[in-house]
């Protein structure tokens, strides 16, 4: 890296110096800048690219964890009356499979793309609040630890070293076991043990992480755009990030309050969801789905954004109907708040409410259909290249559509009454989640990993990944439609012979292993690329957007000089457009590039959630001294935030040497 | 308090419409609207479903006390506006005077709430008294925590103003952000006062 550095307080005449010295913060402590330790560098980083990579690595790890949980579930169901695992363990596995995949795999994978790409795509040098970004990452890690800590306690319990006492005495389900949407009243203190408390605290912490990250991204996208990067010139992926972030800002409070009410019910004996005290368990369903349905779009809109980037790049055409695609995304986000009760058609909402939510659910299929139409329109007449990202993007369009079709079937309330809680529903949302989101994310990985690590993919393993994962997911989930219509209920630990379910279940299980092999090949391919890929170059795919103008991997400051954006699809216009649409750069003002200082404080503050969450949860299981641990966590958070405020932002200047 | 990411990015800041920190606070307040919306609607729904939970002949709420504390909180918002204006003009002494006033009024409000809570408990309304106790205490308690956080924030600002690091250019935004928060908490209270307290007096 050909850069020289001067400290902020020094004059910028210090050009020739290569000396990087950490500076003292306003507190008198040394800042962790320019250290030699790689570990400290990553722990204290405020660089959106490094934070994005960490999100991605941790999310891929949890994707594998959730995948293993799914495989155990499918193995248990392979044969009738199988007793591989106990019913309680089965409940814990499907609960943690859902929770892990949604909150610890897909959301952080999306966050990984947001972090790495959005500043590059809008021509910024970082997000608006770099230290809040670091806080979001570590709060996510804290939430993941708290929510999974039950496995450790459960292991001790199996070994006979631990039994629950205190408020949940005698209930040894230490891993959440009530399903990922935790319906009342099963989450009540008299029905489930400390696992529910780990789930409440873990989700609450993950909510804080998501909210802080989402607010950061809205500010970044609105305020940090380069000159000329007007809203209607933003890449579609950035647009979807903005919409998703706004969804998070407005949808997460509902579950935050619902979780707080549930916690009060369990810890302080309130009656929010307790029928004996006048509470109504249905309230939980409403609050959960007011969050939960926007959450569906929080998961899928980034996938649509990825596909909207990949399809034009590999069709050598602009996205067909850019404005309509953006507008459809916004409409989906808006309508997403108005369809939550379609998860509750069988609860007896009354005719008017059922009809209204049924109609709105059908209406939301319109903007989704418009998007699919536009993607097909993008391909039409384009020079299509079937490179790895394109294969997965095309797979997304088809498979997501299949999930969409069964979704429309659910929107009809009478049909939904038949399908409710059956395997038909499982088939529907796995087509959307794996056929849709997973394939799009893999497409994104194939598209952007050369930019992220600077190395190009080797060979054609991607084709085998595509074959095994698409075949696997269809073999797994297509028969589930039939299973559902034959009446197999979801969340069933085992089943008897003679319902006609045996063959379908066996096929599903075989499919699950095919899919797992596809994911295994993906991991192999990623490792091969990272270990021995050829240098990728700045723009290996002949792509269209601004991130491909940077080096691969991008420099820490992203852009040596700030770009001035003349048009949508800026790089494409720069390469192939008329002379007046070239990207130009602002002149160097001689002050160098102001970089934010690294900091320990966001990590200290957010990791304080670990003792807080674990302390409060384990108090419920009667573990001694846990109240003090929780108080320690609270003090750690307060101390971290206070020192964060007082240390000052710091910063230093970089002077990249001009190459052109 | 003067830490701002804006400073890092002065060069890349041409599309700036509203200050980063102010926009962040507006987003937080939008989110907070949903928090309080959920709490208040939970309360109202349960009030309708379980109308006989609290004895209608007992006058739980004291109109005089709560009107007084509402007025005090409103006046604190007025002082907060004066503090923001003073900071914009760089009048640090006037800023301190007004902030002390806000803190003092906020503490009076919290004191009223503590007094009110003890009164209610004596009258038999506890956290586990049906759904009314649950929703009322969680909702007003959450609001009280917001006020307490605001007071803590302003106390920090007050002492920070003595370090000499506050100036009209940079710190005015910080004070304004705190002001936005304070006004919001005030507005939420006016809604709670209307739909939770005053509504109980209809027909009495």
Can you spell out the DSSP letters for B5-38? GGGGGGGG-TT-SS-HHHHHHHHHHHHHHHHHHH
Asked, for residue B190, whether it belongs to a domain, the answer is yes
For the segment A413-423, the average pLDDT, to the nearest whole number, is 93
In this structure, what token pair is assigned to residue B184?
Answer: 């919001």
DSSP characters for A478-524? HHHHHHHHTTPBTT-S---TTSS-HHHHHHHHHHHHHHHHHHHHHHH
Interface of B with A in 103-122 (CB under 8 A): none
Residue B79 in any domain: the answer is yes
Q: Please indicate, yes or no, if residue B87 is contained in any of the structural domains.
A: yes
CA-CA distance, B24 to B46, in Å (whole number)? 33
Q: Which residues contact B35 (CB under 8 A, 6 or more apart)?
A: A253, A256, A257, B142
Q: Categorize the per-residue pLDDT at A592 as very low, low, confident or very high, splitting at 50, 70 and 90.
A: confident
Specify the pairing of strand A563-564 against strand A593-595. unpaired
R_g of chain B computed on alpha carbons: 20
- A510-548 pLDDT per residue, tens: 999 999 999 999 999 999 999 999 999 999 999 999 999
Whether A569 shows a pLDDT value over 50: the answer reads: yes
Task: Flag whether B145 is in a domain.
Answer: yes
Q: Which among A261, A290, A594 has the least Cβ separation from residue B138?
A: A261
For residue A105, is pLDDT > 60? yes
Q: What is the pLDDT of residues A277-301, one digit of tens each?
A: 999 999 999 999 999 999 999 999 9
- Give the model's pLDDT for residue B51: 87
CB A563 within 8 A of CB A583: yes
> Could you give the number of structural domains in chain B?
1
Phi, psi values for residue A7, rounded to 5°: -80, 160
B110 in Cβ contact with B144 (< 8 Å): yes
Residues 166-195 of B with CB under 8 A from A: none
CATH of the domain at B152: 1.20.120.80
Give residues with Cβ within 8 angstroms of B36, minimum separation 6. B139, B142, B143, B188, B191, B192
Residue A657 binned pLDDT confidence (cut-offs 50, 70, 90): low
CA distance B101 to A574: 58
Q: Which among A101, A151, A146, A44 has a CA at the least distance from the CA of A613?
A: A146
Does position A433 have pLDDT exceeding 90, yes or no?
A: yes
Measured between CA atoms, how close is A464 to chain B, in angstroms? 43
Distance CA A356, CA A354 (A): 5
B5·A649 Cβ contact <8 A: yes
The SS3 call for residue A3 is strand
Residues 23-52 of B with CB under 8 A from A: 23-24, 27-28, 30-32, 34-35, 37-39, 42, 45-46, 49-50
Chain B residues in contact with A253 by the CB 8 A cut-off are 31-32, 34-35, 37-38
Which residues of chain B are within 8 Å of residue A223 when distances are taken between CB atoms?
Answer: 13, 15-18, 20, 23
Residues 275..304 of A with a Cβ closer than 8 Å to B: which?
277-280, 283, 287, 290
Q: Tell me the nearest-neighbour CA distance from A653 into chain B, angstroms.
A: 10
Tens digit of pLDDT for each residue in A498-516?
999 999 999 999 999 999 9
Whether residue B8 is predicted with pLDDT greater than 60 in this model: the reply is no
Q: What percentage of chain A reaches a pLDDT higher than 70?
A: 96
In a domain, B120, yes or no: yes
- Percent of chain B past pLDDT 90, that is, above it, reads 72
What is the reported pLDDT for A11? 37
Contacting A residues, span 418-447, partner chain B, CB-CB under 8 Å: none
Closest chain A C-alpha to B200 CA, distance in angstroms: 19
Whole-model pTM over 0.90: yes
Query: Over the stretch B143-178, which tens digit does the pLDDT of each residue have?
Result: 999 999 999 999 999 998 998 888 777 789 999 999
Q: Is the pLDDT of residue A589 over 90?
A: no
Per-residue pLDDT at A5 exceeds 80: no
Structural domain that includes position B92:
19-45+68-201
Who among B4, B15, B53 is closest to A649 (CB)? Answer: B4
Grade residue A648 by pLDDT with cuts at 50, 70 and 90: confident
Q: Where are the domains of chain A?
A: 1-302+542-660
For residue A658, the model assigns a pLDDT of 53
- Cis (ω within 30 of 0) for the bond into A553? yes
Name the average pLDDT for chain B: 89
Contact A497, A81 (CB under 8 A): yes
**Which of the pair, B60 or A12, is modelled with greater confidence?**
B60
- Asked if the model's pLDDT at residue A101 lies above 60, the reply is yes
Q: Select from A131, A250, A649 the Cβ nearest to the Cβ of B34.
A: A250
- Please indicate whether, in this complex, the C-beta atoms of A257 and B35 are within 8 angstroms of each other: yes
CA dihedral B58, B64, B66, B69 (to 10 degrees): -160
Please give the class, per CATH, of domain A1-302+542-660. mainly alpha
Cβ–Cβ below 8 Å for B34 and A254:
yes
Instruction: In whole angstroms, give the CA distance from residue A95 to residue A182.
Output: 9
- Residue whose C-alpha is closest to residue A153's, from A631, A493, A614, A633: A614
Contact B99, B129 (CB under 8 A): no
Is residue B4 a part of any domain in this protein? Answer: no
């Amino acid at each position: 890296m050909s850069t020289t550095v001067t400290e902020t307080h020094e004059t910028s005449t210090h050009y020739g110096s290569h000396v990087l010295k950490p500076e003292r913060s306003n507190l008198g402590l040394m800042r962790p800048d320019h250290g030699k330790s790689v570990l400290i560098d990553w722990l204290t980083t405020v660089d959106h690219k490094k934070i994005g990579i960490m999100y991605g690595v941790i999310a891929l790890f949890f994707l594998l964890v959730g995948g293993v949980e799914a495989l155990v579930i499918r193995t248990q169901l392979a044969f009738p009356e199988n007793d591989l695992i106990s019913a309680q363990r089965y409940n814990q596995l499907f609960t943690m499979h859902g929770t892990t995949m949604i909150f610890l795999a897909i959301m952080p994978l999306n966050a990984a793309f947001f972090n790495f790409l959005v500043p590059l795509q809008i021509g910024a040098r970082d997000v608006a609040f770099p230290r809040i970004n670091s806080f979001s990452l570590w709060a996510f890690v804290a939430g993941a630890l708290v929510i999974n800590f039950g496995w450790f306690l459960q292991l001790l319990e199996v070994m006979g070293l631990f039994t629950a006492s205190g408020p949940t005495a005698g209930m040894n389900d230490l891993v959440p076991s009530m399903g990922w949407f935790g319906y009342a009243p099963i989450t009540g203190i008299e029905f489930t043990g400390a696992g529910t408390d780990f789930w409440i605290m873990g989700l609450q912490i993950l909510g804080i992480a998501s909210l802080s990250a989402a607010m950061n991204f809205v500010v970044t996208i609105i305020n940090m755009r380069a000159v000329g990067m007007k809203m209607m010139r933003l890449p579609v992926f950035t647009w979807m990030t903005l919409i998703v972030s706004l969804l998070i800002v407005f949808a997460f409070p509902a579950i935050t309050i619902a979780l707080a009410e549930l916690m009060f019910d369990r810890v302080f004996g309130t009656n929010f969801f307790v029928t004996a005290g006048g509470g109504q368990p249905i309230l939980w369903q409403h609050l959960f789905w007011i969050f939960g349905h926007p959450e569906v779009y929080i998961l899928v809109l980034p996938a649509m954004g990825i596909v909207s980037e990949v399809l034009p790049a590999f069709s050598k055409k602009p996205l067909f109907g850019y404005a309509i695609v953006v507008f459809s995304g916004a409409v989906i986000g808006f309508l997403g708040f108005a369809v939550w009760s379609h998860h509750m058609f069988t609860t007896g909402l009354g005719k008017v409410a059922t009809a209204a939510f049924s109609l709105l659910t059908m209406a939301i299929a319109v903007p989704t259909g418009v998007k699919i139409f536009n993607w097909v329109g993008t391909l039409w007449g384009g020079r299509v290249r079937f490179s790895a990202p394109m294969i997965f993007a095309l797979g997304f369009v088809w498979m997501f559509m299949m999930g969409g079709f069964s979704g429309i079937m659910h929107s009809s309330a009478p049909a939904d009454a038949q399908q409710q809680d059956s395997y038909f529903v499982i088939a529907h949302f796995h087509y959307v989640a794996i056929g849709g989101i997973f394939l799009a994310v893999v497409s994104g990985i194939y598209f952007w990993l050369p930019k992220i690590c600077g190395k190009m993919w080797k060979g054609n393993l991607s084709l085998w990944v595509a074959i095994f994962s698409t075949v696997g997911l269809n073999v797994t989930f297509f028969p589930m439609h039939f299973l559902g219509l034959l009446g197999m209920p979801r969340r069933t630990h085992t089943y008897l012979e003679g319902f006609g379910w045996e063959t379908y279940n066996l096929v599903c299980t075989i499919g699950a292993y095919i899919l797992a092999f596809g994911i295994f090949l993906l991991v192999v391919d990623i490792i091969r690329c990272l270990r021995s890929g050829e240098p990728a170059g700045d723009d290996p795919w002949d792509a269209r957007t601004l991130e491909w103008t940077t080096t691969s991997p991008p420099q820490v400051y992203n852009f040596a000089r700030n770009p001035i954006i003349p048009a949508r699809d800026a790089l494409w216009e720069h390469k192939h457009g008329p002379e007046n649409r070239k990207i130009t750069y602002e002149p160097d003002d001689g002050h160098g590039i102001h970089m934010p200082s690294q900091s320990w404080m966001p990590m200290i503050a957010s990791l304080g959630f670990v003792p807080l969450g674990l302390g409060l949860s384990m108090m419920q299981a009667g573990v001694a001294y846990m109240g003090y641990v929780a108080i320690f966590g609270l003090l750690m958070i307060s101390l971290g935030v206070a020192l964060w405020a007082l240390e000052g932002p710091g910063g230093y200047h970089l002077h990249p040497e001009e190459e052109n | 308090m003067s830490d701002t990411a804006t400073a890092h990015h002065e060069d890349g800041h041409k599309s700036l419409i509203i200050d980063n920190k102010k926009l962040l606070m507006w987003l937080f307040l939008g989110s907070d609207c949903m928090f309080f919306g959920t709490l208040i609607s939970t309360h109202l729904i349960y009030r309708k479903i379980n109308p006989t939970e609290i004895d209608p002949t007992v006058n739980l709420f004291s109109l005089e006390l709560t009107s007084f504390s509402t007025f005090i909180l409103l006046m604190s918002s007025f002082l907060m506006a004066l503090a923001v204006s003073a900071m914009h003009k760089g009048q640090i002494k006037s800023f301190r005077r007004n902030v002390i006033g806000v803190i003092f009024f906020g503490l009076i409000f919290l004191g009223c709430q503590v007094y009110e809570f003890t009164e209610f408990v004596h009258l038999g309304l506890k956290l586990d008294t049906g759904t009314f106790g649950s929703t009322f205490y969680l909702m007003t308690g959450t609001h009280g925590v917001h006020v307490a956080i605001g007071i803590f924030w302003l106390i920090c600002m007050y002492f920070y103003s003595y370090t000499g690091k506050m100036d009209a250019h940079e710190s005015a935004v910080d004070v304004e952000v705190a002001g936005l928060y304070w006004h919001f908490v005030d507005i939420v209270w006016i809604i709670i006062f209307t739909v939770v307290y005053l509504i109980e007096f209809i027909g009495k």
